[in-house]
Amino acid sequence: MLVITGGAGFIGSNLVNFLNNNQDEEILIIEEMDTYLKKFKNLDDLKYIDCIDKNTFINDINNNSSKYKGKINNIFHLGACSKTTEPDRDYIMSTNFEYSKDILKYSANNKISLIYASSASVYGETKLFIEEPEHESFLNHYAESKLLFDQYYRINREKITSQVVGLRYFNVFGPREFHKEGMFSVIYHFFTQMNESGSINLFKGSHGYKDGEQRRDFIHVDDTVKVNNWFKTNPGVSGIYNVGTGKSRTFNDIANCVLDYYKKGSINYINFPDNLEDQYQAFTEADMSKIKAKGYSDNFINLEEGVKSYLDWLSK
């Protein structure tokens, strides 16, 4: 059996879909049942054993419940509070850090493979996105929680004999993110703006970049799912790895992809929000050397192809 926390969420539901397409339906989904009800629509076309509350699951495993003994082969830990502007540090730490520590303890003690979601936010303001402590810092509580768990795993990894993999996702976009509200990908935002006004809003210049020229490493969700599956099929590989394309692109590039798709529209440059100034990453670009050195060799979907396929999906 596979366990996927956050299985009704964005990357989680895409992972379930991928596994279903590969004849794997022995999946237990763990979710926060009392919030974000829209996200459960992501499960309508998927096959799984059950979807249970995250608190029920963590209480069961912390009490060594016999219901899971010998049944779980892999845990994909994707559940988290992903709101980078969340001001409640106690909530972030409880949800992202303490919960993850319990998952790690259980998986390690029971020799269960654990593949968990870290984040490119742990690189803060660096210009070198390499999986080493000297390049890491945080600009908000979300990033702090992700970095603390990476560090917790590093401290304990010599004592762990089973697979543990942390995946640092860069800017992921693609289907099944309609529930994310303030955390939508820019492609979803641009899709909505084009349908509402026929134009796209981008930030004016900031952090040393000209209008719309801030750069991010945008990766299609299908590629992140393939990376998860690769580690599942390579249980001897552990560690913390970047998951991006390795090539940064500008927000202008994305906007122009969307305008090309619609064959109309324009770009409006709006003022950069004051409240984001100190916690905004104006540049990200994954160094993919480490994962490639371990043998990962699949090509990544290029931006133009990925944006088109996502807009096709949204336009159905």
CATH of the domain at 150: 3.40.50.720
Question: CA 41 from chain center: how many Å?
Answer: 19
Q: What is the CATH number of the domain that holds 307?
A: 3.90.25.10
Give which of 138, 30, 151, 144 is closest to 79, Cα–Cα. 30
105 and 229 belong to one structural domain: yes
Coil, helix or strand at residue 268: strand
* CB neighbour class for 135 (10 Å; exposed up to 12, middle 13-18, buried from 19): middle
Distance CA 24, CA 16 (A): 9
Residues annotated as part of the active site: 142, 180
pLDDT at residue 35 is higher than 70: no
Position 33 scores a pLDDT of 84
Domain hosting 43: range is 2-173+219-245+285-293
pLDDT at residue 155 is higher than 90: yes
Residue range 38-43: average pLDDT?
A: 92
116 and 138 belong to one structural domain: yes
Position 265 scores a pLDDT of 96
94 and 152 belong to one structural domain: yes
Q: Count structural domains, the chain.
A: 2
169 and 253 belong to one structural domain: no
Position 251 scores a pLDDT of 97
pLDDT at residue 181 is higher than 90: no
pLDDT at residue 108 is higher than 80: yes
229 and 100 belong to one structural domain: yes
Let me know if residue 316 belongs to a domain: no
Cα–Cα–Cα angle for 160, 165, 170, nearest 5°? 155
pLDDT at residue 34 is higher than 80: no
148 and 186 belong to one structural domain: no
Let me know if residue 82 belongs to a domain: yes
Dump pLDDT digits (tens) for 51-106. Answer: 999 999 999 999 988 899 999 999 999 999 988 888 899 999 999 999 999 999 99
32 and 80 belong to one structural domain: yes
Residue range 207-222: average pLDDT?
A: 96
101 and 210 belong to one structural domain: no
Position 36 scores a pLDDT of 60
Let me know if residue 56 belongs to a domain: yes
9 and 149 belong to one structural domain: yes
Give which of 117, 244, 275, 236 is closest to 171, Cα–Cα. 244
Position 83 scores a pLDDT of 85
Let me know if residue 41 belongs to a domain: yes
Let me know if residue 298 belongs to a domain: no
Residue range 181-201: average pLDDT?
A: 93
Residue range 142-167: average pLDDT?
A: 97
Cα–Cα–Cα angle for 314, 252, 302, nearest 5°? 60
Average pLDDT taken over every residue of the chain = 95
Dump pLDDT digits (tens) for 236-293. Answer: 999 999 999 999 999 999 999 999 999 999 999 999 988 787 778 889 999 999 999 9
210 and 236 belong to one structural domain: no
Position 166 scores a pLDDT of 98
Let me know if residue 228 belongs to a domain: yes
Percent of the chain with pLDDT over 90: 87
Let me know if residue 160 belongs to a domain: yes
65 and 209 belong to one structural domain: no
Let me know if residue 88 belongs to a domain: yes
156 and 57 belong to one structural domain: yes
Position 188 scores a pLDDT of 96
Distance CA 286, CA 120 (A): 8
